[in-house]
Structure 1
Amino acid sequence: MKAISERDVILLADFSAPEKRYLVKISDGKFSTKHGEIDLSALVGENYGTIIASHLGRKYVVLPPTIYDRIMLGVKRQTQIVYPKDSGYIILWLGLKNGMRVFECGAGSGAMTSVLANAVAPDGIVVSYERDERFFELSQYNVASMGFDNVKIFHRDIGDGIDENGFDAAFIDVREPWLYIDEISSALSCGAPIAFVLPTTNQIQMLLKTLMNSEKYFDIRVAETMLRFYKTVPERLRPEDRMVAHTTYILMARKIGME
């Protein structure tokens, strides 16, 4: 792995409390915590994995941030994001890999957009529609801050149609997706997987009825994911006192039929 440069964004993790971590730009020069100030310029040329101390002696581990770190710590939010426990499962269901073309509707804060872009990089592309101007601007900012250049976000309502077609997969995060099944179906290649996220069972029921009545979708599934962390004490291994359980419902399907 390359040495740390002054252009890098790094992850600073408290050596004594690893759950306390920060995304920091080396170019900021200094970073202040309640345990003292850290001289970031001293890290230029050093290797990742090194340990640096604040002026009060508190130790921090310097790590390259993963897409998980960037999503959880670096995304400016005005909307609920798709949590990593859900987005990871969705990425596997969609079968995303380098070179694929993905359609997204409902960019929101751009967190899931970035996850999709990461999965199909460097040669794939994500085309995203967002009708709310605030979220359109926010998602553009967040995706750009992540460094992804394989994303095209349009300020557009899916109800006006989708300009492109032949997409390899789709991810939909809008309030009433059943209203746009015809538009989405026209944009997807036959056999392409699609995933929807919705917060309520009533919405899932409406979408299920629409997909089944359309006769254009097969292998329809509904799921939710649960993730529980454990305390890393070998002598007393047990679950953490709190967990993020239900976050969203995920509906998945495959498009079938004639192009």
Structure 2
Amino acid sequence: MSDHSTTGRAVGAHMRTGALKAGERVQLTDYKGRRSTITLAEAGQWHTHHGVLHHDALIGQPEGIVVTNEGGHQYQVLRPLLNDFVLSMPRGPTVVYPKDSAQIVQLADVFPGAHVLEAGVGSGALSISLLRAVGEHGTLHSYELREEFAEIARANVDAFFGDAHPGWQIHQGDAAVVPTDIERPGSVDRVVLDMLAPWDCLDMVSTVLAPGGVWVSYVASVTQLSRLAEAVRDSGGFTEPEAHEIMLRTWHLDGLAVRPDHRMVAHTGFLLSVRRLADGQQPLALKKREKVSEPAAEDTAAWAGTSWQAGQETADQGPVWDEANLGTRTVSGRKARRVRSHAQSIAEAAQEVPDGR
């Protein structure tokens, strides 16, 4: 691991500047705007149906060059930005999209030197943004239930920074339980959860999050958003929940033909944010409109995990908050292992990139 305290350079800075080096990821864009991302290697070759491009034609060159392969096709060469890296890196579980990661960092007010707790690491996309925000003097403790997901995330983060980040730790286990054995009460500045049932972590967050600290949860469905908001309100230890949804629409620019693109990145998830109150304090009862629509009995029963019949409620196991019922993609162990191997090979190449200009 590089000693950044002696070089005076930020973690991963050597992967973002200077001449292109073997082990780095580069983004190739053709005349149709199609992008491909490859890892440079000495004497390496990139084969397409348009011909062969030799990696040695790129290594040692500055960013922004235009190269021609053996078939006469040209490519613009740049290092991938964080957005590009996240969308091209090996993925097991679905990643938190850059538009949402940026808003999470902003909503949570993640600052340099902060101690952040993250649960639901997935493929490591959000971890990269959080580590950039806390810097080399901050810490990020990430909790992941599946071992292969944790390994994919570790490889992707190492590949982006070119080395292990000094402030990052991954812990495997149930995020509702494990953090209380590791984090001191009130020692965490920010909590970010990306999981199916974040309300299960309510007691954990109440214990480890410092007064005034921010908790942001990323959920995919309206039912999760509603259940979490009601659980936070019932706990009494947080401010009134605020919910957000981020949509991103690009524009077509061609002379006078300036219009929105036909396709856009619309719904990916909801963000719910609250702040921790001091111990023993209750949130203010916010004034509401006189006409308030109360949730139906069957809705309340669904949130509480009970069955509802006309005039009565009966306790049972309640709804199962899993990938199948929420319509999310389940990643098989076989695919996770394949992605893990790919991500680790990219990380190993990145760790060979020299840390210097």
Q: What is the TM-score of this pair, normalised by structure 2?
A: 0.68
| Shift in Å, 1:219 | 4.5
Match of 2:74 in 1: 59
| Shift in Å, 1:2 | 1.2
**Is residue 248 of structure 1 aligned with residue 269 of structure 2?**
yes
1:159 to 173, 176, 183: 176
Flag the 1:249–1:137 CA change in 2: closer, same or farther, 3 A.
same
- Three-state SS of the structure 2 residue aligned to 1:114 is helix
Paired amino acid for 1:24: I
The residue correspondences of 1:13-32 to structure 2 (distance < 5 A) are 13-14=29-30, 16-18=31-33, 20-27=34-41, 29-32=44-47
Distance 1:174 1:7 in 2: 33
Deviations 1:40-81 (CA, angstroms, capped at 9, x unpaired):
11222211111111111211111122111110011x222121
- Three-state SS of the structure 1 residue aligned to 2:176 is helix
Q: Which has the higher contact order (CA 8 A, sep 6+)?
A: 2
**Any gaps of 5 or more consecutive residues in structure 1?**
none
Is the Cα contact below 8 Å between 2:239 and 2:275 reproduced in 1? yes
Match of 2:57 in 1: 42
Is the Cα contact below 8 Å between 2:105 and 2:130 reproduced in 1? yes
**Any gaps of 5 or more consecutive residues in structure 2?**
1-16, 281-357
- Three-state SS of the structure 2 residue aligned to 1:218 is coil
| Shift in Å, 1:215 | 1.7
Match of 1:102 in 2: 116
- Runs of 4+ more than 4 Å apart: none
Range with bigger deviation, 135-144 or 36-45: 135-144
Match of 2:259 in 1: 238
**Is residue 8 of structure 1 aligned with residue 28 of structure 2?**
no
Paired amino acid for 1:228: R
Larger radius of gyration: 2
| Shift in Å, 1:106 | 0.7
Paired amino acid for 1:151: W
- Three-state SS of the structure 1 residue aligned to 2:239 is strand
Distance 1:4 1:134 in 2: 31
**Is residue 183 of structure 1 aligned with residue 204 of structure 2?**
yes
| Shift in Å, 1:136 | 2.2
Range with bigger deviation, 224-233 or 25-34: 25-34
Is the Cα contact below 8 Å between 2:233 and 2:240 reproduced in 1? no
1:136 to 150, 154, 161: 150
Paired amino acid for 2:66: I
Q: What is the TM-score of this pair, normalised by structure 1?
A: 0.92
